[in-house]
Structure 1
Amino acid sequence: MSGPNDNFDPKQVAALDPTAIDGYVAAALDAIEAATDSAQLKQARLDHAGDASPLALANREIGALPPQARKEAGQRVGKARGEVSRAVAARQAELSAAEEAAALVAERIDMTLPVDVAPHGALHPVTTLIDEMIDVFVAMGYQVADGPQVEAEWYNFDALNLAPDHPARALQDTLWVDPPSAGRLLRTQTSPVQARALLTRGVPLYVISPGKVFRADEYDATHLPVFHQLEGLVVDKGISMADLRGTLDHLAQAMFGDDVITRMRPHYFPFTEPSGEVDLRCFVCHGDSVGNPDRPCRTCRSEGWIEWGGCGIVNPRVLAACGIDPDVYSGFAFGMGVDRTVMFRTGAPDLRDFVEGDIRFSRSILGGAR
């Protein structure tokens, strides 16, 4: 049996030389002291105390020493590595305290300053205008009526004297709910609310019905498949066309100012007879663009008038369908687009802006409203 090898070449374990160990420690302490933030200190720790550091490599060389030399070398390396570790911990505590103090100064909040707990919103211009229009009619003694948006065919068409073969019932105009044979649709107007009000409230009746309506229209600057209407219905004894004209003039003045000028043109609606269209004198050119190519008006297309809504005396067939005696009672009905009324009042150029959900649009429109 061979005995232990007590001979070794000092060159193979030069990393364990006391002078070399002291040099490793000195270099580590200098790098640790030079670190000015946690990132630099982390790099110094990896360079001088990590697995690939000189002290770690020296620790591995202990196994090459004879048994009688390993204890002394191990103590020397262990002491050196402990000194470096303590220096890293001390410097980390100093840097952490300094960084925390700096963060407290940089991120300090003055708790005495006023602050908005939540960002300010804005009512949609259509909502605001509907509220204004409701106020006008409530002040005249009207009531507000509401109804379902998914409506029965009878209320939307039959009760309003629209024949079974009327073009408005076609798929290209009406959005039917599957299956179409069930006779349910997204209401194309708020007029079904008037039929429901006649059936449930009786007469005399003074109601308005604002709300969403749905049609298979193109989505462009002047048309939306979902828009808003406000319709009114009056049924009482002795109601005439003069009452209708006075009501619409009062509404127009409330919406556009006392100097607004209206006119009524003959028209046709199945649920009113006689029927008319209500126009507003163009509030941009005031009619001066008519026949004047030098002063064209984009708002009214140089016609001098802007179409606002439809109206008329309630057709006796509609009254009879809702159980009202047309020989005793008469009435009038009217309706106009709320979205378009907002455009008239504010000059908004594109209806698509109304449905984009940008609060900046609502704020700008409300700020520019009359």
Structure 2
Amino acid sequence: MSAPNDSYDPVEVTPLHPDEVARMRDEALAAIAAASSLEELKEVRIAYAGDRSPLALANREIGSLPPSARAEAGQRVGGARREISEALKERGAVLEEERDNRVLVEEAVDVTLGWDRRPRGARHPLTTIAERMTDIFVNMGFEVAEGPEVEAEWYNFDALNFLPDHPARTMQDTFFVEAPSGGESGLVLRTHTSPVQVRALLDRPLPVYVVAPGKTFRTDELDATHTPVFHQLEGMVVDENITMAHLRGAIDAFVHSMFGAGLRTRFRPYYFPFTEPSGEVDLECFVCRGESVGNPDAPCRTCGSEGWIELGGCGMINPRVLVAAGVDTERYSGWAFGIGVERTLMFAHGVRDMRDMVEGDVRFASAFGMEV
């Protein structure tokens, strides 16, 4: 057996040559110093201090050296690796501090700001103005009555003196839910809140003073002045010795409370199947007070310089409606009226396009806040 090669020079092993070890160390230190983020430093650590790094591979070559040469080579490679490890630690500390300082600036919280940063909500103006209109009549002594939105044809038409061939009973005006069958009344989406009046007469003892706010449906196209779903406020009085004068007084009281004291009203003859005599109610323009009529120098957009604004329909309840509800027409009489809630909102606040009320834009409701 031959003796060990004690004269083997480890310098001849290229990865363990002092110059090569110094080159790998310097290259690693330069890469560490150039790392600008913790993510880049992580990649540098893997490349120059990982298991497959150049110095790690050189360290494996030490085992192939003679025992007398291993100590010096190990010190040389180990010293380089310690320098790299310390450099990684120091650079990591610097980058962590920079990251923390950046987070403090970028994610700073101004504790002087208000704690409630969410915008305030708002009720829909149709809801609030309907409640205000209802409250006016409640203060007069009226009760609030309600009824279903899907209504039997008998309540919506027959009991209100709509003849079978009346145009309102066609599909071009009414949403039909279920056709009549087996002698039973069909179902419709109510076209007005007047069916509530019939139900109130059937369910309540006389005398009856009710106001019925609610949603109604008609097959209208959605435009600036029409919508297929709208709201009405109807009022009804049935008592002894009731006349049109009582109706006029109630309407005047409502107008003064809703639009301002001193406004005049006028009645124009009209026709409704469920009232006789019937009329349309106009109120004096609350903007120009009639001064724009015949005055081209001071036009009024609210009333179109006519001086009057149409408010709604009204009249004395047709005796046929009272008979259908089982009311003694020899003893009792009554009146009823209907006012559009959307129309009232347009008048009171200058809303020019009815589509703004139904399209769901929160900016429209937010302008009104919580009250109207």
Q: Distance in 2 between matches of 1:175 and 1:105?
A: 61
* 1:174 partner letter: T
User: Is residue 214–residue 233 contact of structure 2 (8 Å, CA) maintained in 1?
Assistant: yes
Q: Map of 1:1-370 to 2, 5 A cutoff?
A: 14-42=14-42, 44-45=44-45, 48-49=48-49, 56=53, 67-68=64-65, 80=80, 84-85=84-85, 87-104=87-104, 106-109=106-109, 114-116=114-116, 118-178=118-178, 183-292=186-295, 295-365=298-368
Which is bigger in relative contact order (C-alpha 8 A, separation at least 6)? 2
* 1:307 partner letter: E
- 1:365, distance to aligned residue in structure 2 (A): 3.9
Quick check: 85-94 or 123-132, which moved more?
A: 85-94
TM-score computed with the length of structure 2 as normaliser = 0.84
CA offset digits 1:176-211 (Å, max 9, x no partner) = 114576711111111111111111112100110111
Q: Distance in 2 between matches of 1:331 and 1:75?
A: 114
**1:367 and 1:63, CA in 2 relative to 1: closer, same or farther beyond 3 A?**
closer
- 1:289, distance to aligned residue in structure 2 (A): 4.0
CA offset digits 1:60-81 (Å, max 9, x no partner) = 6889999447978788667755
- 1:220, distance to aligned residue in structure 2 (A): 0.8
* 1:210 partner letter: P
- 1:261, distance to aligned residue in structure 2 (A): 1.9
Q: Number of residues paired by the alignment?
A: 363
Q: Distance in 2 between matches of 1:168 and 1:193?
A: 18
Secondary structure of the 2:164 match is: coil
**1:57 and 1:28, CA in 2 relative to 1: closer, same or farther beyond 3 A?**
closer
User: Is residue 59–residue 74 contact of structure 1 (8 Å, CA) maintained in 2?
Assistant: no
User: Is residue 125–residue 371 contact of structure 2 (8 Å, CA) maintained in 1?
Assistant: no
Q: Distance in 1 between matches of 2:62 and 2:99?
A: 45
**1:60 and 1:158, CA in 2 relative to 1: closer, same or farther beyond 3 A?**
same
- 1:295, distance to aligned residue in structure 2 (A): 4.9
Question: Structure 1 unaligned runs (5+)?
Answer: 1-9
**1:109 and 1:286, CA in 2 relative to 1: closer, same or farther beyond 3 A?**
same
User: Is residue 346–residue 365 contact of structure 1 (8 Å, CA) maintained in 2?
Assistant: no
* 1:346 partner letter: H
State the identity as a percent. Answer: 56
CA offset digits 1:205-227 (Å, max 9, x no partner) = 01101111111111111111111
- 1:355, distance to aligned residue in structure 2 (A): 1.5
User: Is residue 143–residue 207 contact of structure 1 (8 Å, CA) maintained in 2?
Assistant: yes
* 1:244 partner letter: L
* 2:343 partner letter: R
Quick check: 33-42 or 117-126, which moved more?
A: 33-42
Q: Distance in 1 between matches of 2:32 and 2:314?
A: 88
User: Is residue 13–residue 61 contact of structure 1 (8 Å, CA) maintained in 2?
Assistant: no
User: Is residue 129–residue 342 contact of structure 1 (8 Å, CA) maintained in 2?
Assistant: yes
Q: Distance in 2 between matches of 1:82 and 1:11?
A: 21
Secondary structure of the 1:26 match is: helix
User: Is residue 293–residue 305 contact of structure 2 (8 Å, CA) maintained in 1?
Assistant: yes
User: Is residue 348–residue 365 contact of structure 1 (8 Å, CA) maintained in 2?
Assistant: no
Secondary structure of the 1:222 match is: coil
Secondary structure of the 1:177 match is: strand
User: Is residue 13–residue 65 contact of structure 1 (8 Å, CA) maintained in 2?
Assistant: no
